Structure 1
Amino acid sequence: MSTVSKRQRSSFDHSFIRKLAPKRLDKFAFSPSEGASGGILVGWNSSIFTGEVMHTKKFAISVKFTSVHDNSIWILTTVYGPCQGEERDNFVNWMNDIRIGGANWMFLGDFNFYRALSDRNREGGSMHDIFIFNEIISNLGLLEIPLKGRKYTWSNMQEEPLLEQIDWCFTSSNWISDFPNTLLLPMAKPISDHIPCLVKIGTSIPKAQIFRFENFWVDHHGFFELVQSVWNAEVRATNSAQKITAKLKLLRRVLKRWSKQISNLNKLIKECDSILAVLDKLEEQRPLFRQEGNFRKVLKSHILKLLKYKKEY
């Protein structure tokens, strides 16, 4: 499952989505942007959920998901709240008119509202907006899923930045009863001025122990020589089919052992993201020194190269 708001696109064709979303996501719903405002994309894996788009607005998409495994139903509303004007009023009225009932419902995204003056790193802010937002949350009976480990979710990316929390995750009360281990975790932001967030929902489904072939292995020195040596090795088999099966099992075992000795691309990206997250969190306490800011720019560029490399394979 993946949701993205504030995509400045008037349309989403398949080739663009493939650049943005993981390959396992094969179904999508979107709301186009208007100029530099809005734009929402929601993607899901149809082998896990069937999705029914309930409504599409300029500022929100709601999709009802049904599990293909146990037929459980829940609703996801992805939000990109307008900043001002008539559209902001329409967004507020629309939120107030939602009827949740007994549904398992999650709301997440960039609401462009904060709940308290402490959700900014500078003085100022609108008490009127705070009142409006908290009144919506109260009227709908929503519960906040707090962001772990970060205080703010948006930066204006200046040397002495304005930081705010305007991205939120809320659920219906029934959701917390059915999914008590729901977590909202921050991720590194190599591109956006918003912090990407990961929602984790606890499950008792065991993780399959399967062999995964990574396409980037073929670029490593010695890979083909290793495969050839394993394939040419003698195996005990009484016929051709058994011989091929035995060779494949041997190759899988050798590649699993070999892959632990080479640089793991996912691990490298994760480590870079962790360093970037430390710098972003440090910025919440004080402006970054010039050397720290320059290092963050270099690190973001490096992460983008790694992500591009991963996407190509």
Structure 2
Amino acid sequence: MNAHPLKVLVWNVRGLNAQARRNALYQVVAAANPAIVCLQETKLQVVSVIDVRQCLGNKYENFFYLPAVGTRGGILVAWDDSITHISNPHYTNHTLTVLVKCPDDEHAWWLTCVYGLQDEVDKIEFMQDLVDIRDLHVGPWLVAGDFNLLARQEDKSNELVNRRMLRRFRAKLNRLELKEVYLNGRRYTWSNERRNATLERIDHFFVSNEWDEAFPTCFLSALGTAISDHCPLILDMNVEISMRKRFRFEAFWTKAEGFF
């Protein structure tokens, strides 16, 4: 759909109050050069232009944010206005939904950045939020962020899985007809950072069928960092996949006149 390079960076940064953490985030963003940045757990009740400049750089002065509640939560969505335009923000306790429109695209699409909390009551409310959001926003849809939920049993490195919550989450995904974008090169996205670490994949990208058809060559991968127990995820929506033409030996060649 879009001729320009379009990348989406999604990351639970575990707070943006410390200057060292802001500096590390700035370096990741500068290296990845995304058009859209979606951050979770900012822990900021108010986000200013100065905050965004320090964390992301001058290209990302356009932004929407969901304030943190005390020291919990907080979502920031910022974008490079020379590549894309974002509007129509819609907020819930756990999500921030925006409309994305690129200059060369005929159609816009919805982006929902999520931050799921630990408590079971919050998880249930969060999953219902996704259903309500979809009812209000028709069209191609990308949902990404820290869900704090497992989509499959193999998304955890041990057998201590809340299967009831997993089944509930799968049921919501099926109802919403969302499919997960394959994560290349990494199985898990979070670690408890202990000696015998528990590893989980709780950061996800889910897309609707319309979105998947619009961006068939997207490529999701993980970046390295030392400032968070979550790894940053980068979605490149315009990957050029070069396919070499395969050589095939045809059996009838041996019967052709002049074959050697």
- Distance in 2, Cα, partners of 1:124 & 1:90: 23
Match of 1:48 in 2: 83
Structure with bigger gyration radius: 1
Within the candidate set 151, 158, 164, 1:122 is matched to 158
Note if contact 1:102-1:174 (Cα within 8 Å) is conserved in structure 2: no
Task: Quote how far apart the aligned CAs of 1:140 are.
Answer: 0.5
1:188 aligns with 2:224: yes
Task: Quote how far apart the aligned CAs of 1:112 are.
Answer: 0.5
Match of 2:116 in 1: 81
Match of 2:244 in 1: none
- Distance in 2, Cα, partners of 1:187 & 1:56: 28
Matched residue type, 1:38: G
Output the TM-score relative to the length of structure 1: 0.62
- Distance in 2, Cα, partners of 1:95 & 1:193: 25
Greater shift, 129-138 or 52-61, is seen at: 52-61
Task: Quote how far apart the aligned CAs of 1:71 are.
Answer: 4.4
Q: C-alpha deviations, 1:109-146, integer Å up to 9, x for none? A: 00010022221112211001110111111001011101
Are the structure 2 counterparts of residues 69 and 116 from structure 1 closer, same or farther at C-alpha, using a change threshold of 3 Å?
A: closer
Within the candidate set 198, 201, 204, 2:234 is matched to 198
Higher strand share: 2
Match of 1:263 in 2: none
- Distance in 2, Cα, partners of 1:27 & 1:103: 24
Match of 1:131 in 2: 167
1:105 aligns with 2:141: yes
Within the candidate set 58, 61, 67, 1:23 is matched to 58
Structure 2 portions without partners, runs of 5+: 1-35, 241-260
Match of 1:178 in 2: 214
Are the structure 2 counterparts of residues 12 and 117 from structure 1 closer, same or farther at C-alpha, using a change threshold of 3 Å?
A: same
Task: Quote how far apart the aligned CAs of 1:23 are.
Answer: 2.2
Match of 1:32 in 2: 67
Q: Which 4+ runs in 1 deviate beyond 4 A?
A: none
Within the candidate set 128, 131, 148, 1:93 is matched to 128
- Distance in 2, Cα, partners of 1:92 & 1:203: 31
Note if contact 2:41-2:115 (Cα within 8 Å) is conserved in structure 1: yes
Matched residue type, 1:156: N
SS at match of 1:99: helix
Count of residues in correspondence between the two structures: 204
Q: C-alpha deviations, 1:1-28, integer Å up to 9, x for none? A: 1111111111111211111113222210
Task: Quote how far apart the aligned CAs of 1:66 are.
Answer: 1.7
Aligned pairs (5 A) from 1:253-264: none
Aligned pairs (5 A) from 1:238-249: none
Match of 2:103 in 1: 68
Q: C-alpha deviations, 1:235-258, integer Å up to 9, x for none? A: xxxxxxxxxxxxxxxxxxxxxxxx
Greater shift, 167-176 or 97-106, is seen at: 97-106
Matched residue type, 1:69: D
The alignment yields a C-alpha RMSD, in angstroms, of 1.8
Note if contact 1:38-1:80 (Cα within 8 Å) is conserved in structure 2: yes
Task: Quote how far apart the aligned CAs of 1:88 are.
Answer: 2.4
Task: Quote how far apart the aligned CAs of 1:47 are.
Answer: 2.5
Q: C-alpha deviations, 1:127-184, integer Å up to 9, x for none? A: 0111011111100101110111111100111121111000000111011111101111
SS at match of 1:24: helix
Output the TM-score relative to the length of structure 2: 0.74
Task: Quote how far apart the aligned CAs of 1:101 are.
Answer: 7.3
SS at match of 2:173: helix
- Distance in 1, Cα, partners of 2:212 & 2:226: 32
Higher helix share: 1
Note if contact 2:99-2:110 (Cα within 8 Å) is conserved in structure 1: yes
Note if contact 2:218-2:239 (Cα within 8 Å) is conserved in structure 1: no
Matched residue type, 2:151: R
Note if contact 1:38-1:58 (Cα within 8 Å) is conserved in structure 2: no
Structure 1 portions without partners, runs of 5+: 205-313
- Distance in 1, Cα, partners of 2:81 & 2:75: 19
Note if contact 1:184-1:200 (Cα within 8 Å) is conserved in structure 2: yes
Match of 1:145 in 2: 181
